[in-house]
Amino acid sequence: MAPHVGVLAIQGSFQKHIESLVRAGHPADQIHEIRTPEDLSQVRRLIIPGGESTTVGLLMQYTGLDQAIIERAHQGMPIWGTCMGMIMLARQVENREQFSLNLLNITVRRNAFGAQVHSFETQLTVAGLVDPIEAVFIRAPIVTKHGPEVQVLATFNDHIVAVQQDKILGTSFHPELTSDTQLHKYFLNL
């Protein structure tokens, strides 16, 4: 039986992740929208999608979801943050005081490739995947520092854009906005 997977559904591109998980072969009835600590208790994995980190951080703190996620991560729950999700997982955000879950030993720089109008798509080779993937960058962060326990999975123009620390995955880009499900399958197998 497939494990129940949650997608943080406070804000952002959560529906696209749900669709990608289904395309990756995960049963739709075992994918849940997560908005509360009670919702989180029903799943064994969590995706934190793109969105606006300040708003999501405030709402997570208000509902207590932040502490529930931190506790589950320390228990070994696989967690994947895309774009804003990676910012939320980071230990530190450059030049900005903001809430984070402090679960990935990385420092990130927000909007490293510029504003929304500078969004782009590119082919990207990711460690652990057989084929290059199509990666969509929208106001994407980059990793500027990382601890020795963090594995770099992908770079773009010498910028780190995908990392993994144990069962926690962070990507700067949005694989859920493409038809490629390799990263979703990778996450499901963590």
pLDDT digits (tens, 9 = 90+) for 71-89: 999 999 999 999 999 999 9
Reported as a pLDDT band with limits 50, 70 and 90, residue 68 is very high
Q: Could you tell me the residue ranges of all domains in the chain?
A: 5-188
The 3-state DSSP composition of the chain as helix, strand, coil percent (nearest 5) reads 30, 30, 40
Residue among 17, 26, 146, 174 flagged as catalytic: 174
Helix (H, G, I), strand (E, B) or coil at 95: coil
Concerning whether 134 is annotated as a catalytic residue, the answer is no
User: Mean pLDDT across the chain, nearest whole number?
Assistant: 94
Note the pLDDT of residue 47: 98
pLDDT score, position 2? 66
Reported as a single tens digit per residue, the pLDDT across 171-181 is 999 999 999 99
Give me the catalytic one of 26, 146, 176, 184.
Answer: 176
> Is 174 in the active site?
yes
The yes/no answer on whether domain 5-188 falls in CATH 3.30.420.40 is no
φ, ψ of residue 101 to 5 degrees: the values are -80, -15
Cβ burial 130-144 (10 Å sphere, 16+ → b, else e): eeebbbbbbbbbbbe
Active site residue 149: no
CA pair distance 163, 160, nearest whole angstrom: 8
Set 17, 83, 146, 184: catalytic member: 83
